[in-house]
Amino acid sequence: MEDEVSLENENEKDLEVQDAEAEGGSESIPNESDTDVDCTDDTDASEPLDRRDFDPIRAIHHNQFCYVLDKYLDKTTGKRFFHVIGRMEGAFNHVVLVHVVTGARLYEYMIKVPGTGTERSWCEEDAYMMRNEFHLLQYIRAHTSVPVPEVIGFDDSLNNELGAPYIVMKKLPGEAATLLWSEEHDHLNADTPSQLLTQERNTFLHSLARCMVELGKLQFDKIGMPTFDPNNPNLAPKIGSYYQWHSDSKMIEIIDRQASSTTEEYLVPQLDEDWNPMQYAGKYAPGTKAHEYHMWCMGIRKFLDIIFATLPFTSSKLPDQEEESFVLRHPDLDLQNILTDADGNVTGIIDWDNCLTAPRCVGCTAAVPIFLRRDWFPDFTVQRAPHMTWSLNHWRKIYADALEEAGSPDVRYTCKSAMYQGIVAALYEGGGDAEDVVKKVMLSLEGTRLVDHDQFLTNLGKGWPDAEAYLKEEIAKLLAPS
């Protein structure tokens, strides 16, 4: 049989790799992004500055992944047969699924290589984030019952058998939740699930809520990246700085973010960095188009200032706490990253890259998952969403009830957490858009719903005390936790 790997002891390196496709079949691997990427497709050719560099990773031979995996396996179990089932990509990672047969037992493993893991792109900032991702998954498994992958090894350098950084983990059971959430993909059937599918959705949301409340048992004193002592990773992490990309979709520029001790410290400096029209004050002559545009920008900034001076963006305290506390936030909690059994029970949550701590209103114990908040995305369309906007509140309410039933201390934020997350994303996520958020809030307020939004914002920028007073009062009501 072509390409079958056999290893009996760690010194035996005469490998043959069995390729599933050569035998006429393959297994799918839960993808790490909404967009499946064919491994033969040159996804980065049109983006010369994109840090992702998949071609050299795709060129790594199957054998090399088997060599790497064998380093972390028990050598006392006898002869081991390796079978590379498939290789797939999400937006940011190349994933290889390998079956290992020892005697009569089958074991499944996954090896994840980041899309930036090449000589051209890899840097210490990437290595820092990978190390802490690995140790965070170990920490979550050790201190909670959340079904995260069991990681068994990693290398954050290029100096290994792959010539690329990687994380090795055991494959979790289950199928991606996309398979249970939608029966049809067209808008006419998006909100008419069968009775069986409705029950599965309810089971799924309650199971996911229990996982998030369990994750919320881990509390932290700052916003940032949980960092671990490499000599003793079992110690509780400290919250340190982290690195983000200028755009989640393009990964062009690395940005260094410092840890924040308060919610205000987290939000306000970023607002100053992203939306600071005051630096152009007095530059443009009144009556010119440039001046009117500057006043519009000033109006956006005043609107955002009012939003971020309002609960829940001023504090992240529990009722009995004197100091703020923070919880983890999965960066991509969407259907493709949640695995379930046939009944809808969550069996695994994957893709924890860039997992950080966050204010409670957008953290794990309160926030609805991505598929229940797409209406607050700038690019929201009825073609992409799994259901129509009028059904979102229904499912958000079910999820809120499930969180409350599971004992979440932050459920008061849940029904409005789609809005909260959209607002924070305007500052901290590549897909966020401050202008879009402001206009969505205006559409949510009775007094601004039907006005010309751009003219209103321009006038607000010029100075409009009555409008500012109205916005402060009504935005406070709109954002108030339930």
Q: Are residues 353 and 427 in the same domain?
A: yes
Asked whether residue 228 is assigned to any structural domain, the reply reads: no
Tell me the CA end-to-end span of the chain in Å, nearest whole number.
Answer: 62
Asked whether residue 122 is assigned to any structural domain, the reply reads: yes
Listed residue (95, 100, 343) closest to 202, CA to CA: 343
Q: Please enumerate in sequence order all residues whose Cβ is within 8 A of that of 301, keeping only pairs 6 or more positions apart, or say none.
A: 271, 275, 276, 277, 278, 461
Q: Are residues 159 and 278 in the same domain?
A: no
Asked whether residue 448 is assigned to any structural domain, the reply reads: yes
DSSP assignments along 450-477, one per residue: SS-HHHHHHHHHH--HHHHHHHHHHHHH
26 near 171, Cβ under 8 Å?
no
Q: How far apart are CA 16 and CA 4, in angstroms?
A: 4
101 near 80, Cβ under 8 Å?
yes
239 near 252, Cβ under 8 Å?
no
Asked whether residue 117 is assigned to any structural domain, the reply reads: yes
* pTM of structure: 0.88
Q: Are residues 362 and 392 in the same domain?
A: yes
Q: Are residues 182 and 324 in the same domain?
A: yes
pLDDT value at position 32?
A: 39
Q: What is the CATH number of the domain that holds 85?
A: 3.30.200.20
Listed residue (305, 320, 324) closest to 363, CA to CA: 324
User: Regarding beta strands 18-19 and 80-89, do their DSSP bridges make them parallel or antiparallel, or are they unpaired?
Assistant: parallel
Q: Are residues 144 and 268 in the same domain?
A: no
pLDDT value at position 25?
A: 35
Asked whether residue 139 is assigned to any structural domain, the reply reads: yes
Residue numbers of the chain with a pLDDT score lower than 50: 1-2, 9-17, 19-47
Q: Are residues 183 and 291 in the same domain?
A: yes
DSSP state of 343: T
Q: Are residues 191 and 107 in the same domain?
A: no
Q: How far apart are CA 433 and CA 444, in angstroms?
A: 17
Structural domain that includes position 56: 5-172
pLDDT value at position 39?
A: 39
Q: What is the CATH number of the domain that holds 451?
A: 3.90.1200
Q: Are residues 284 and 416 in the same domain?
A: yes
Q: How many structural domains comprise the chain?
A: 2
Q: Are residues 285 and 151 in the same domain?
A: no
42 near 25, Cβ under 8 Å?
no
Q: Are residues 147 and 193 in the same domain?
A: no
470 near 447, Cβ under 8 Å?
yes
Among 111, 144, 172, the domain-final residue is 172
Q: Are residues 117 and 203 in the same domain?
A: no
What b-and-e string marks burial along 19-49, b requiring 16 or more CB atoms within 10 Å of the CB? bbeeeeebeebbbbbbeebeeeeebbeeeee
Asked whether residue 68 is assigned to any structural domain, the reply reads: yes
179 near 343, Cβ under 8 Å?
no
Asked whether residue 233 is assigned to any structural domain, the reply reads: no
Q: Are residues 200 and 145 in the same domain?
A: no
Q: Any idea what the Cα angle at residue 224 is, between residues 222 and 229, rounded to 5°?
A: 90
Asked whether residue 76 is assigned to any structural domain, the reply reads: yes
Among 133, 156, 172, the domain-final residue is 172
Q: How far apart are CA 45 and CA 151, in angstroms?
A: 32
